[in-house]
Structure 1
Amino acid sequence: MAERILIVDDEPGILHALHRLLRHGLTAADGSRYIVDECADGAQALERARSHVYALAISDYRMPVMNGVDFLTALRTLQPECERIVLSGYTDLNALVRAVNDAAIARFIAKPWADYELLSAVRQVLHVRELTLENRRLADQVRRQQGQISAQDAELRRLEQLEPGITQVAWADDGSFILEDPGDVKL
């Protein structure tokens, strides 16, 4: 199954240029192409992240309504396994520090970017993510073999990684569980 990359920028030209670059200049470890989704603002991107799992999100810093750091911080809560990159022509040290501390970004890339450098940074971030996930899987396997983690807990972790939030249940006061329509979720 092809992995997804989410790009967020309020400038359509930037979105299209990034989409074209990532779609044609990047392949996954298995040789497949990434699915690249575009969003013009953070709220729209968070809505999309509720229905799709992303390996990477690349966001502009300066956008109206919700800036890139606020978006990536919210995305980090929603999908902790998704790596995050800030792409911006605006360089403010305080914003950069906040991006690192709050959103735990993997990279800051300045606009305008050089295609080779951007692709190289994206490849490195995705490779580190892949290694981290594999290390976690192997560590869970060892814990399971040593009896420190049950097979059920390991499976729950695996499912949560594939579909964030799938293992969480909302309970009503009377003990029944609450089913939410993904379209009804408020930001």
Structure 2
Amino acid sequence: MTQTETTASPGTVLFVDDEPNILSSLKRLFRPTGFRVLTAPSGQDGLNLLDTETVDVVVSDMRMPQMDGAAFLKAVRERHPQIERILLTGFADMESTVSAVNDGGISRYLNKPWKDHEILTTVKDAVNRGRLQAEVTRLHALTADQNAKLKNMNTELEARVLARTRDLQTAIGKIKEANESLKQNFLTTVRVFSDLVEMRSGHMAGHSRRVAQHARQLAKASGLDDAATQNIMLAGLLHDIGKIGLPDDLLGKPYNTFKPEERSLYIRHAERGEAALTAVSQLKAVCKLVRHHHEMWDGTGFPDKLTGLAIPLGAQILAIANDYDGLMQGHLTARPLPAREALVYISQNAGKRYNPELANTFVRMVSEASGRPADGISLRPGMLKQGMRLVQDLLHPDGYLLLPKGHVCDEDTIIQLRRLETSSSRNITVQVEDSPRGAST
């Protein structure tokens, strides 16, 4: 199947079930969607069909004679790992379902009897996920090919080749980071989105990351569970995504200097941020926090003028973290405030702008943290060794993420950081573990 065909068609799905009436029902259900539907009455027939057909998603029943769903999906994984795998199972099949998850590497399982809208959405999501992975692989191949061509360029173009190589290496790094996030770390993807917002303006550089960090710390200090804390941190990273469409000159102005028409335009960014994230199912809870992070305790905030406990708890936390960093960066007032004055502002507005209990907890937390030494040791790229692990995120001098906390330095990392320090003519400091295990000399 060509790339054009893949893009134009909704995709091909194979249903495997030993009950003809089930296969007929599924074919009727998917007929209006435009999907190309294939069916097989057994696992072996399904495997034979996959040898001759291009399929995006396989949906298999668990209970089938000769070869059950777990064994079939395990074989699909071994022979065609690129195909997304979904299991249909009954409530009594949980032991077999665990086997299918472990051995068959399924992405979802659905209970019988299924809900039509649920199976339709699940199959569509699986097709999109598989194609996204294929596109990342294609981009890797494309960049590798471009690098090979660049190495063969005429020596007279060496200066231009070096400049192009730097650009390509940056692009390759982002592609690798995106690919890794698809496999392991959804959070990294969110951070990339956050960085894209901040790259609009140097005035915003690092703001979302600091807000996310302060919000995460306040959530933990307030006793919230890991899931709620994670959503609050994600919302902190994405709270300004609605500002992407704002004019550049507006992004650099303090809020209290806005003209009425500028303020009217600005206050819509929270709703726009929510709308931009609504399509991502994993961010459903985050959307709500993004919408309400400018609500105030006394009801004078926006967009819905919620008051007190009607404001989602995560949004109450974000409001404090966002304003604290905004005060120090000059986002709210014409004069950036030092940390001490920003904390005084938070205290004075407890019960007005902020939940008083959260505000007091935040002021105490930040004040105590300011007296603690930083973790790890700070090293320049030239002093790094392979195996050293970062104890905090490393940001580019322009504010966006270079390497995440926990990254283990290898030879390529160290070379790239040395080149960046030389090309940018700015010192780079990396915070690493004081006594790293496995660091090579």
Q: Does structure 1 retain, via aligned residues, the 8 Å contact 2:14–2:58?
A: yes
Q: Does structure 2 retain, via aligned residues, the 8 Å contact 1:6–1:38?
A: yes
Counting only pairs closer than 5 Å after superposition, residues 110-149 of structure 1 correspond to structure 2 as 110-147=111-148
Following TM superposition, by how much is the alpha carbon of 1:63 offset from its aligned partner in structure 2, in angstroms? Answer: 0.5
Q: Does structure 1 retain, via aligned residues, the 8 Å contact 2:59–2:85?
A: yes
User: Which residue does 1:83 correspond to in 2?
Assistant: 84
User: Which residue does 2:94 correspond to in 1?
Assistant: 93
User: Which residue does 1:23 correspond to in 2?
Assistant: 31
Look up the SS of the partner of 2:133 in the other structure: helix
User: Which residue does 2:17 correspond to in 1?
Assistant: 9
Looking at secondary structure, tell me which structure has more helix per residue.
Answer: 2
Following TM superposition, by how much is the alpha carbon of 1:75 offset from its aligned partner in structure 2, in angstroms? Answer: 1.4
Q: Does structure 1 retain, via aligned residues, the 8 Å contact 2:17–2:60?
A: yes
Aligned counterparts of 1:43 and 1:17: Cα–Cα separation in 2: 21
Q: Does structure 1 retain, via aligned residues, the 8 Å contact 2:56–2:84?
A: yes
Gaps of 5+ in 2: 150-441
Q: Runs of at least 4 residues of structure 1 off by over 6 A?
A: none
Matched, 1:109 2:117: no
Q: Does structure 2 retain, via aligned residues, the 8 Å contact 1:53–1:79?
A: no
Matched, 1:39 2:40: yes
Q: Does structure 2 retain, via aligned residues, the 8 Å contact 1:61–1:90?
A: no
Following TM superposition, by how much is the alpha carbon of 1:127 offset from its aligned partner in structure 2, in angstroms? Answer: 1.1
What percent of counterpart residues are identical? Answer: 37
Following TM superposition, by how much is the alpha carbon of 1:36 offset from its aligned partner in structure 2, in angstroms? Answer: 0.7
Q: Structure 1-normalised TM-score?
A: 0.70
Aligned counterparts of 1:147 and 1:69: Cα–Cα separation in 2: 43
Q: Does structure 2 retain, via aligned residues, the 8 Å contact 1:62–1:90?
A: no
Which structure exhibits the higher relative contact order, with contacts defined as CA atoms closer than 8 Å and separated by 6 or more residues? 1
Aligned counterparts of 1:58 and 1:4: Cα–Cα separation in 2: 11
Gaps of 5+ in 1: 27-32, 149-187
Look up the SS of the partner of 2:110 in the other structure: strand
Following TM superposition, by how much is the alpha carbon of 1:90 offset from its aligned partner in structure 2, in angstroms? Answer: 4.2
Aligned counterparts of 1:140 and 1:91: Cα–Cα separation in 2: 45
Deviations 1:25-84 (A, max 9, x none): x3xxxxxx2221111111111111111121010000000110011111111222111111
User: Which residue does 2:416 correspond to in 1?
Assistant: none
Structure 1 vs Structure 2 CA RMSD:
1.6
Q: Does structure 2 retain, via aligned residues, the 8 Å contact 1:42–1:68?
A: yes
Equivalent position amino acid for 1:120 in 2: T
Q: Does structure 1 retain, via aligned residues, the 8 Å contact 2:89–2:97?
A: no
Aligned counterparts of 1:12 and 1:78: Cα–Cα separation in 2: 26
Deviations 1:125-179 (A, max 9, x none): 111111111111111111221239xxxxxxxxxxxxxxxxxxxxxxxxxxxxxxx
Range with bigger deviation, 53-62 or 86-95: 86-95
User: Which residue does 1:54 correspond to in 2?
Assistant: 55
Aligned counterparts of 2:91 and 2:41: Cα–Cα separation in 1: 18
Aligned counterparts of 1:108 and 1:92: Cα–Cα separation in 2: 11
Q: Does structure 2 retain, via aligned residues, the 8 Å contact 1:58–1:85?
A: yes
Following TM superposition, by how much is the alpha carbon of 1:91 offset from its aligned partner in structure 2, in angstroms? Answer: 3.8
Aligned counterparts of 1:129 and 1:91: Cα–Cα separation in 2: 29
**Greater Rg over alpha carbons, structure:** 2
Equivalent position amino acid for 2:63 in 1: R
Aligned counterparts of 2:71 and 2:93: Cα–Cα separation in 1: 15
